[in-house]
Structure 1
Amino acid sequence: MAVDATLPYDDQNIFARILRGEIPARKVFEDDWALAFHDINPQSPTHILVIPKGAYVSWDDFSARASEPEISGFVRAVGHVAREAGLVAPGYRLLANTGLDSHQEVPHLHVHVFAGRPLGPLLAR
């Protein structure tokens, strides 16, 4: 189900349930600010999702309402995950969808980390 970034946070979304331990995930990183885990339907050889632990619908919501420690902690977590997975040298792509036009499917901010093969152009020209 696609969401509008202006919708209220739905605490029954799959990522909220993963954060509460109701749904298992193959975790690769966790700290006070973020959780990273393998996507259950990977779109590249490496496909990791990084989510903030706070209840934020989208990047817009997060950048407007999160505290400075939450923002820096989350951004640092994304970088940490990429470094620990050995993705810096070969390269990787970050993707955060926001709202209907971007095809955001889960109303909890998440960053996709794609890697493991040449990914080609992001958008059709």
Structure 2
Amino acid sequence: MYFVSPKHADNFYQLLRRYPVGQRDREYQTGFYIVAHPEIYNHCNGNPVSDGDSPFDWYFDESNDSSFQAGLSSGFLALVRAGINLFNNHEDFSLYLSLGTWGDELFKVFVQACEIRRGRQLFSI
């Protein structure tokens, strides 16, 4: 399983322990995997599930705030939107634009997220 750093892995497993639905639901696993990236995790203050509905509650809570856009680079915003699309088929995602924005690291995170979403559980809880 690909993690960008040990902190990414720690954040991911911490989220799975905190929100047990992620231990059995691929959509949640995918969302938690993306949100666990240290850059994104720090941006949402380690609490992505603010109202208990999804790993991306923080995104919808903050996306109306103009300072939110300045907090994450375009590559990370594209990765978050990809995660939301994998989580619930949200339409605010363009693979075409994302591929032109991501470097190797974020592309590898996206590919790993797709593998998780497809049901290839490559981790143990």
Taking structure 2 as the reference length, the TM-score comes to 0.31
Q: RCO (CA 8 Å, sep 6+): is it higher in 1 or 2? A: 1
Taking structure 1 as the reference length, the TM-score comes to 0.31
Structure having the larger proportion of residues in strand? 1
Rg larger for: 1
